[in-house]
């Protein structure tokens, strides 16, 4: 005989939408399956906010602090305000799609939020907060196409930036560590987070190397040119602060260059240029100095060839890492020292 455990399209007695996995579990219980009897019941009343808190606490302990900070920002600003009060297992693909569409004015943030939500849903299933085998509502939600910005400063623009940095330094328009951080971004091609969190113990000035243990792509070694060495040599060290770019609080590093960079780029007439564009600029000058893409990828710490391939249209030849680093540094010094052209 047939046993009715529920009706398609109607909720369970607990108010939860029937899923294939829930139906299978209930059928096993009716049949007296011992495995089903020993499986702990899934708490189907948990809200998205409750699960997201568990996700941050449990999964957050296994990921990098910078990644966790990004997850928290997206959860607090976008995901929890939208889904927080809703039961996790009742969130549908239509709900997620509508949320994604609502963020169409910020496509990159929308895609990142969708990725974090998808990770959370998969984690919730693995941890037993969501029935096993149920569809991830983030799957098959079409992402926005993101246009990668490829902005390189020209020699004339580098000259304007060099003049602005010099003016800011001599007129004390901003702090010396801010100026040093920007110059290090130019001469090393490092990411902003790598420079801001750099510690003296990770630098070997005699060998002209930086050893980064926790970069975006894992451990990496950065070869320093003479210009970068000179910047580091001029910076004072403090016994109770391990960081190169000293912050405002005791024992801390600077965490944000947004406002001072806005001021300096305005002084240089470089509106719209981002700090990350200095990394692209370092790479473009390296290419112009004769660097091959594999060597430039090594300098930038790329783990995948396609990441460096964006500079392919600029490439003409190859040189060893050390020689190329020095040539790039000399070319950047020359450009930063250019006198800006008078305004027409």
Mean per-residue pLDDT for 286-313? 62
What phi and psi, each to the nearest 5 degrees, are found at residue 218?
95, -160
pLDDT in tens, 104-119: 999 999 999 999 999 9
- pTM score over 0.85: no
Q: Select the highest-mean-pLDDT range: 175-189, 290-304, 319-333.
A: 175-189
pLDDT for res 146: 79
- Compute the C-alpha angle 66/71/73, nearest 5°: 95
- Name which of 8-17, 85-94, 202-211, 237-246 the model is least confident about: 8-17
* DSSP letter for each residue of 179-234: HHHHHHHHHH---HHHHHT-BGGGEETTTTEEEEEEETTEEEEEEPPHHHHHHHHH
CB burial class (10 A; 0-12, 13-18, 19+) of residue 296?
A: buried
- Name which of 152-161, 231-240, 314-323 the model is least confident about: 314-323
Mean per-residue pLDDT for 286-308? 64
Rg (CA), the chain: 26
pLDDT for res 9: 62
**Between residues 130 and 2, which one has the greater pLDDT?**
130
Matching residue, tokens 């770019």: 245
pLDDT in tens, 117-155: 999 999 999 998 988 778 899 999 999 987 777 788 988
Report residue 72 as tokens: 């928290």
Q: Alpha-carbon distance 336 to 340, whole Å?
A: 10
Mean per-residue pLDDT for 186-208? 92
Residue 286 near residue 299 (C-beta atoms within 8 A):
yes
> So where are the chain's domains?
1-41, 48-126, 155-336
Report residue 43 as tokens: 């708490």
In three-state secondary structure terms, 260 is helix
pLDDT for res 176: 94
Q: Which residues contact 123 (CB under 8 A, 6 or more apart)?
A: 55, 59
- Name which of 9-18, 228-237, 301-310, 314-323 the model is least confident about: 314-323
pLDDT for res 53: 96
pLDDT in tens, 152-172: 898 899 999 999 999 999 999
Report residue 277 as tokens: 């564009």
pLDDT for res 18: 64
48-126 and 155-336 have identical folds: no
Q: Alpha-carbon distance 270 to 290, whole Å?
A: 27
Measured N-to-C along each axis, helices 155-170 and 258-268 cross at an angle, to the nearest 10 degrees, of 120
Mean per-residue pLDDT for 259-278? 94
CATH classification (class only), 48-126: mainly alpha
pLDDT for res 105: 92
CB burial class (10 A; 0-12, 13-18, 19+) of residue 291?
A: buried
**Beta-sheet pairing, 209-215 with 218-223:** antiparallel
Report residue 122 as tokens: 């998969």
Matching residue, tokens 């398609």: 8
Helix (H) or strand (E) segment spanning residue 188 = helix 176-188
CATH topology of domain 155-336: hpI Integrase; Chain A (1.10.443)
Q: Which DSSP state fits 274?
A: -
Assign 259 a pLDDT band (cuts: 50, 70, 90). very high
Summary mean pLDDT of the chain: 84
């Amino acid at each position: 005989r047939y046993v009715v455990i529920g009706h398609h399209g109607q909720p369970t007695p607990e108010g939860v939408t029937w899923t294939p996995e829930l139906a299978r579990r209930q059928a096993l219980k009716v049949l007296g399956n011992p495995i089903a009897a020993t499986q702990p019941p899934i708490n189907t009343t948990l809200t998205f906010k409750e699960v997201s808190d568990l996700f941050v606490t449990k999964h957050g302990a296994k990921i990098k602090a910078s990644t966790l900070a990004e997850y928290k920002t997206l959860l607090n600003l976008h995901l929890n305000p939208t889904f927080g009060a809703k039961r996790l297992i009742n969130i549908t693909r239509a709900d997620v799609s509508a949320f994604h569409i609502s963020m169409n004015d910020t496509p990159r943030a929308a895609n990142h939020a969708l990725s974090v939500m998808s990770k959370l849903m998969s984690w919730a299933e693995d941890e037993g907060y969501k029935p096993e085998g149920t569809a991830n509502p983030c799957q098959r939600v079409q992402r926005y196409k993101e246009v990668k910005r490829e902005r390189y400063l020209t020699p004339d623009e580098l000259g304007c930036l060099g003049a602005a940095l010099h003016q800011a330094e001599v007129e004390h328009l901003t702090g010396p560590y801010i100026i040093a951080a920007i110059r290090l971004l130019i001469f090393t091609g490092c990411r902003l987070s790598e420079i801001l969190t750099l510690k003296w113990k990770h630098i070997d000035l005699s060998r002209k190397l930086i050893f980064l243990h926790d970069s975006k792509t894992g451990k990496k070694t950065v070869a320093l040119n003479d210009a970068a060495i000179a910047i580091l040599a001029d910076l004072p060290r403090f016994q109770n602060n391990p960081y190169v770019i000293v912050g405002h609080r005791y024992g801390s590093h600077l965490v944000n260059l947004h406002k001072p960079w806005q001021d300096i780029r305005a002084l240089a007439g470089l509106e719209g240029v981002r700090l990350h564009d200095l990394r692209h600029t370092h790479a473009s000058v390296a290419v112009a100095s004769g660097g091959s893409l594999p060597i430039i990828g090594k300098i930038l710490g790329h783990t995948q060839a396609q990441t460096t391939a964006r500079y392919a249209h600029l490439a003409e030849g190859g040189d060893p890492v050390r020689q190329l680093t020095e040539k790039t540094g000399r070319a950047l010094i020359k450009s930063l020292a250019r006198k800006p052209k008078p305004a027409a």
